[in-house]
Chain A
Amino acid sequence: MKTLTLMQAINEALLEEMERDPNSVYFGEDVAAMSGAFGATAGLLDRFGPDRVFDTPIAEATIAGAALGMALAGLTPITEFSFADFVGIAFDEIYNKLGKWNWMHGCCFKIPVTIRLPVGALAGSGPEHSQSPQALFMHSQGLYVAVPSNACDAKGLLKTAIRDPNPVLFFEHKLLYGMPGEVPEEEYTIPFGVADVKREGSDVTIVATSMQVLTALNAANMLAAEGIEAEVIDPRTLIPLDRKAILDSVRKTGRVVIVHEEPKTGGTGAELAAIIAEEAFFDLAAPIKRVGSADTPIPQSIFLEMEYKPNEEKVMAAVREVMQY
């Protein structure tokens, strides 16, 4: 094993996969000369040249639509938006086109497109550079949605995303970029639709995604001092979703708290809670509890940003509440 930050792990995945697939191209705003808004694409231009790694005009709809066109003509396009918030600019191209093009044309195409999308509140970036819009795409069809929470998962999932013949939205939390983690030395991939038990426990299941897996783990460790053993499940991909792993854990513990950074209303937790209620209602000892962000735009103020999103205290309070039943 070696220790890499999540950013380094992503960079390794890109270098390895572009080496492996000569038809792969990487393009986007400031990704070539500047190595991207957060530096994930360092070294790609030097290694693969300006045809395969290139800076584009600032035009997300064109970037996403061109990715589809490239895929239709046999390339493996990999791209990024500087901030996931910009999906709104390219919503038609992502939601109506990338996800549906193959199906609505009779299933005769492969669309191996990967779009990297930095999410999450960070250092007062404000309402249009801090959001986590992944739940929007749980409601779409034909798009895979990946939400890694550590370096090892990020590398393995990104390699799968690039190799997969379907479009993948790859949501990376900006606060995780600098987080170190153990990554295997050898070649590996992580399949989609396989959740990971990040911490085993018997009293309550915490289903958490992306950055909030860390919040959940911190909360779980503190709850252990109170005698509460929480199991932390990380779905890793929302589409496809490992329903079985989540339901098995909920059936084991009988209690569930769902934690995510999207606003609570209509967030991923809404769908997860509905699945649990439909499939495992009589296994529950307590009502399902969700911890999401506030149903507000994200404030610029760092002080208010802290209030906006989940934290350990909010998770612990939710767990204590379900433990009272």
Chain B
Amino acid sequence: MAEVIERDVDPARYDKDFLLLLYREMVKQRTFDENLIRLLHEGKVSGFYHSGMGQEATGAGTCASLRDDDYILYDHRGCNQMIAKGVPLDKIYGDFMGRVCGTTCGLGAGIVHVAYPELGVLGQSGTLGACFVIAAGTGYAIKVKKTEQVCVCFFGDGTAARETFHGGMNWAGLYNLPIVFYCENNEYGISTHYTKAHALKENIADRADGYGIPGYVIDGNDVLLVYEVAKEAIERARSGGGPTFIEGKTFRYRGHFEGDPALYRDQAVVDEWMEKRDAIKNYRAKLIAAGAAAEAEFDAIDADVEKQTLDAIAAAEASPMPECTRIYEGIFVEGVV
């Protein structure tokens, strides 16, 4: 069985700059998300958007311990994670708007297919669940090349039912690979509650035990707790200690996609999460109560992030659309053939 870690992390253990950095990262993600939804409503973004609003503590808490050359495979609400890893906002907006400044140089990418190899962001597949086996290969490559990198594989509770979950976990345990599996359990895989999609003892992380992998269950909306547990897992992986499985309990505020009214959920539960368990609101209140920072400092961060976000949107909108010939480019890499 996975270990359930419940502890109240004292902010006094961390310096102010770091505490505010985590806050800034989460606000950056939330602001990105709010503005993307606005752009969708304005008709400037097409396709499906799977909002990660409410799940900001995952990317912020986890990526804070990663090096630039560490790898991540982000999940289906993974803009939070790619932003936390450092992908520039104008590039992500550019992908959503199909502009050449995007990471895909105009092909367009929604929540999937953004990649930024210079910061180890390896991309994502639309058929969810490939992350497990790709992470297995990435972890194996790190092991062979002895580079002391780490691969963090993010996924949701829904994806944890894919057959590839077993294949990837089995390799990771068998070959002792430097992979951190982070399950964002936001309770719903599209409309299906995770307890109706999984045969579980109690938690999804319980499965790790069967692969010889340590498993932990945490409050995934407590960014300091996410940071501490992920940091320990990342350091273990980096030093040859093998994989870790972390299940962060969280909740998505929006429907499965924008336009999904999410009538399959109890509104009282949604309200409870948004009002009492919000990662950003609670963290801010906690830091203020601890005397770590003042209201005005948070307000200043909020304003700064808002400006950066609007600047990024403006930059993306100023970027041209691609030529029609773009679709024919890069199907094969230029090489020996």
Q: Which residues of A are interface residues toward B (Cβ below 8 A)?
A: 23, 25, 51-52, 56-57, 59, 61-62, 64-75, 77, 92-93, 96-97, 101-111, 141-142, 144, 160, 163-166, 189, 191-193, 240
Instruction: Tell me the complex Cα distance, A107–B143, Å.
Output: 26
Interface centre among B115, B116, B137, B330, by most A CB within 10 Å? B137
B52 at interface by CB-CB < 8 Å: no
Instruction: Tell me the complex Cα distance, A92–B166, Å.
Output: 16
What are 9 pairs between A and B in contact, CB < 8 Å? Answer: A62-B170, A66-B137, A68-B133, A73-B71, A74-B141, A96-B125, A103-B107, A105-B123, A106-B109
Given contacts A73-B71, A92-B127, contact A67 B137 (CB under 8 A): yes
- Closest chain B residue to A59 by CB distance? B167
Mask for B119-133, Cβ within 8 A of A = 1, else 0? 000110111001011
Instruction: Tell me the complex Cα distance, A163–B333, Å.
Output: 12
Contact of A108 among B117, B127, B167, B170 (CB under 8 A): B117
B113 at interface by CB-CB < 8 Å: yes
Are the CB atoms of A164 and B336 closer together than 8 Å?
yes
Chain B residues whose CB sits within 8 angstroms of the CB of A107 once the complex forms = 105, 329-330, 333
Given contacts A51-B143, A65-B136, contact A105 B130 (CB under 8 A): no
B313 CB → nearest A CB, Å: 20
Are the CB atoms of B140 and A69 closer together than 8 Å?
yes
Given contacts A61-B164, A62-B133, A166-B337, contact A105 B104 (CB under 8 A): yes
Chain B residues whose CB sits within 8 angstroms of the CB of A165 once the complex forms = 333-336
A207 CB → nearest B CB, Å: 21
Instruction: Tell me the complex Cα distance, A166–B336, Å.
Output: 10
Chain A residues whose CB sits within 8 angstroms of the CB of B164 once the complex forms = 61-62, 65
B142 at interface by CB-CB < 8 Å: yes
B139 at interface by CB-CB < 8 Å: yes
Chain A residues whose CB sits within 8 angstroms of the CB of B144 once the complex forms = 25, 51-52, 75
B300 at interface by CB-CB < 8 Å: no
Chain B residues whose CB sits within 8 angstroms of the CB of A96 once the complex forms = 125-127, 130
Contact of B130 among A97, A102, A160 (CB under 8 A): A97
Are the CB atoms of A65 and B105 closer together than 8 Å?
no
Instruction: Tell me the complex Cα distance, A163–B337, Å.
Output: 9
Contact of B104 among A25, A73, A104 (CB under 8 A): A104
Given contacts A57-B170, A73-B141, A108-B115, contact A163 B336 (CB under 8 A): yes
- Closest chain B residue to A52 by CB distance? B144
Q: Which residues of B are interface residues toward A (Cβ below 8 A)?
A: 71, 102-105, 107, 109, 113-117, 122-123, 125-127, 130, 132-145, 149, 151, 163-164, 166-168, 170-171, 174, 329-337
Instruction: Tell me the complex Cα distance, A48–B337, Å.
Output: 27
Given contacts A59-B170, A65-B167, A105-B123, contact A75 B337 (CB under 8 A): no
Are the CB atoms of A160 and B336 closer together than 8 Å?
yes
Chain A residues whose CB sits within 8 angstroms of the CB of B107 once the complex forms = 103-104, 106
A121 CB → nearest B CB, Å: 29
Are the CB atoms of A69 and B134 closer together than 8 Å?
yes
Are the CB atoms of B113 and A104 closer together than 8 Å?
yes
Chain A residues whose CB sits within 8 angstroms of the CB of B116 once the complex forms = 108
Instruction: Tell me the complex Cα distance, A142–B333, Å.
Output: 9
Interface centre among B113, B133, B136, by most A CB within 10 Å? B133
Given contacts A68-B137, A74-B145, contact A57 B171 (CB under 8 A): yes
Contact of B330 among A68, A74, A77, A103 (CB under 8 A): A103
Chain B residues whose CB sits within 8 angstroms of the CB of A109 once the complex forms = 115, 117, 123, 333
Contact of B145 among A64, A69, A73, A108 (CB under 8 A): A73
The 5 A-B residue pairs whose C-beta atoms are closest, nearest first, are A69-B137, A65-B133, A107-B330, A62-B167, A66-B137
Chain A residues whose CB sits within 8 angstroms of the CB of B174 once the complex forms = 57
Instruction: Tell me the complex Cα distance, A255–B104, Å.
Output: 46
Instruction: Tell me the complex Cα distance, A240–B104, Å.
Output: 25
- Closest chain A residue to B337 by CB distance? A192
Chain A residues whose CB sits within 8 angstroms of the CB of B151 once the complex forms = 69, 73
Instruction: Tell me the complex Cα distance, A23–B138, Å.
Output: 13
A107 CB → nearest B CB, Å: 3
Instruction: Tell me the complex Cα distance, A34–B285, Å.
Output: 62
Given contacts A59-B170, A75-B145, contact A106 B134 (CB under 8 A): no
Contact of A69 among B104, B127, B133 (CB under 8 A): B133
- Closest chain A residue to B134 by CB distance? A69
A60 CB → nearest B CB, Å: 9
A106 CB → nearest B CB, Å: 3
- Closest chain A residue to B168 by CB distance? A62
Are the CB atoms of A102 and B333 closer together than 8 Å?
yes
Chain A residues whose CB sits within 8 angstroms of the CB of B334 once the complex forms = 165
A68 CB → nearest B CB, Å: 5
Are the CB atoms of A62 and B141 closer together than 8 Å?
no
